[in-house]
Structure 1
Amino acid sequence: MAYITKRGNSYSVRYTYEDEHGKNCDKWESFPTKEEATNRKKQIEHELAVGTFLIPSSVTVAEFLMDWLPKQCSKHKWAPKTYESNLSTIQNLIVPYIGSMEMQKLKPYHMENLYTTLSKTPCGSYIEGKKQELTEKQKLRFLSGTTIHEVHRLLGTAFQYAVEWGILVKSPVPVDSPKKSTQERTIWTVEEMRAALDSMEDPILHLAVHLTLVG
Structure 2
Amino acid sequence: MASIQKRNNKYAVVYSYTNREGSKRQKWESFDSYAKARSRKAEIENQMDKNIFVPPSSQTVNEFLDLYVDLYGVKKWSLSTYERNAKIADSYIRPILGNMALQDVTPLVIEKYYRDLLNTDSVGNKIFKTKKKVSTGTIKQIHKYLKCAFGVALKWDLIAKNPLLSVEPPKHVYKKREIWTSEMIVQALRECEEPKLAIAIHLSFACSLRLGELLGLRWKDVHISDEDIMKDDAHIYVNCELAKVSLKALKALNEKDVIFTFPQNIPNKVYKTTTVLKKPKTESSIRKIWLPKTLAFILREWKEEQEKYKEFFGDEYNDYDLVICFEDGRYCSHNVIRNALKSVTEVAGLPPIVFHSFRHSSTTYKLKLNHGDIKATQGDTGHSQADMVTEVYSHILDEDRKVNAQKFEESFYQNSGEGIDHNNVNQELDINNLINSLKADPELMAQLIEALK
The bucket for the TM-score relative to the shorter chain is: 0.5 to 0.7
**Cα distance in 2 for residues equivalent to 1:37 and 1:110:** 18
Matched, 1:185 2:178: yes
> Match for residue 29 of structure 1?
29
Question: How many matched pairs?
Answer: 193
State the shift of 1:70 in Å: 1.7
1:66 matched to which residue of 2?
66
* Pairing partner for 1:204 from 193, 209, 216: 193
Question: Which residue of 2 is the match for residue 129 of structure 1?
Answer: none
Matched letter for residue 157 of structure 2: G
Aligned counterpart, 2:98: 99
Percent identity over the alignment?
Answer: 33
Structure 1 segment 46-195 matched on structure 2, within 5 A: 46-76=46-76, 78-124=77-123, 134=126, 137-140=129-132, 142-174=133-165, 176-177=168-169, 178-179=171-172, 181-185=174-178
| Contact 1:122 1:138 survives alignment (8 Å) | no
Confirm or deny: 8 A CA contact 1:16 1:26 kept in the other structure. Answer: yes
Which segments of 5 or more consecutive residues in structure 1 lack a partner in the other structure?
126-131, 189-193
Q: 3-state DSSP class of the match of 2:193?
A: helix
- Supply the distance in 2 between the matched residues of 1:46 and 1:204 (Cα, whole angstroms): 73
Aligned partner letter, 1:68: Y
Looking at structure 1, the residues matched to 22 and 54 of structure 2 have their Cα atoms a distance apart, in angstroms, of 14
Point out where structure 2 has 5 or more consecutive residues left out of the alignment: 182-186, 199-343, 351-360, 362-453
What is the Cα deviation at residue 37 of structure 1? 4.2
Shift of the alpha carbon at 1:26? 1.7
TM-score, normalised to structure 2, is 0.36
Cα root mean square deviation, aligned: 3.8
Question: What secondary structure is seen at the aligned counterpart in 2 of 1:184?
Answer: coil
Q: In structure 2, what residue type is equivalent to 1:55?
A: P
C-alpha displacement of 1:36: 4.8
Shift in Å, 1:72: 1.6
Q: Distance in 2 between matches of 1:98 and 1:156?
A: 14
What displacement does 1:75 show? 2.7
Query: How far is 1:139 from its partner?
Result: 0.8
Q: 1:79 to 1:5 in 2, by over 3 A?
A: closer
> Displacement, 1:153?
1.2
SS in 2 for 1:16: strand
Change (3 A) 1:176 1:36: closer
Check the 8 A contact 1:44/1:53 in 2, yes or no. yes
Change (3 A) 1:6 1:144: closer
Label 1:11 to 1:123 Cα distance change in 2 as closer, same or farther (>3 A): closer
Distance verdict in 2 for CA 1:204–1:10, change over 3 Å:
closer
Q: Residues 61 and 99 of structure 1 are in contact (CA less than 8 Å); yes or no, is this contact kept in structure 2? A: yes
The residue number in structure 2 matching 1:191 is none
Alignment partners' CA distance in 1, 2:348 and 2:35: 77
Give the aligned partner of residue 19 of structure 1.
Answer: 19
- Measured against aligned partners, the alpha-carbon deviations of 1:144-170 in whole angstroms (never above 9, x if no partner) come to 443322211111111101111122222
Alignment partners' CA distance in 2, 1:212 and 1:136? 25
In structure 2, the residue corresponding to 1:169 is in which secondary structure?
Answer: coil
Q: What per-residue deviation string (whole Å, max 9, x for no partner) do you get for residues 96-136 of structure 1?
A: 232233322223343333334334444325xxxxxx9x487
**Would you say the 8 A contact 1:123–1:138 is kept in 2?**
no
Deviations 1:59-88 (A, max 9, x none): 232222122112123333x44443232111
- In the superposition, the TM-score normalised over structure 1's length comes to 0.67
Cα deviation, residue 91, structure 1 = 0.6
Greater helix share, structure number: 2
Structure of higher RCO (CA pairs closer than 8 Å, 6+ residues apart): 1
Cα distance in 2, alignment partners of residues 143 and 33 from structure 1: 35
Equivalent-residue separation in structure 1 for 2:109 and 2:172 (angstroms): 18
The answer for the alignment partner of 2:270 in structure 1 is none
